[in-house]
Amino acid sequence: MKRFNQEKQKGVGKWVPTADDFVKARPMIDSLLTDGFWDDGKPRDVCTLTIRLGKGGAGISLNDPEGEQSITTNGRTIDETLDALEAYLATGIVTWRQWGKKKR
């Protein structure tokens, strides 16, 4: 997995996609959720996925704990929302939303 906002990468072991049907057709999401190493060999915290359902549809957030940032998409169904997130990630021009720090 390549580090966000880094131009040069060193080659390391090859990541193998998971066999789960949930991400089978979504390799970008699969790698963000399961690839535990950056291309330079350093370990990374894998992303998490939060799914919210309601009468109006589905909302999905891809959360990057290491970068303290998220991407959120919405759609009518979970599959539609996951497909939209995958398409967005595949563009290679991803804008992450930084997590805010609460003031006390």
Q: What would the pLDDT profile of 14-65 be if each residue is shown by its tens digit?
A: 788 888 888 889 999 999 999 998 888 888 899 999 999 999 899 999 999 9
103: exposed, middle or buried (C-beta count within 10 Å: 0-12, 13-18, 19+)? exposed
Residue 31 belongs to domain spanning:
27-93
Domain total of the chain: 1
Give domain status of residue 64, yes or no: yes
Give domain status of residue 14, yes or no: no
Whether the full predicted model's pTM is greater than 0.85, yes or no, is: no
Give domain status of residue 86, yes or no: yes
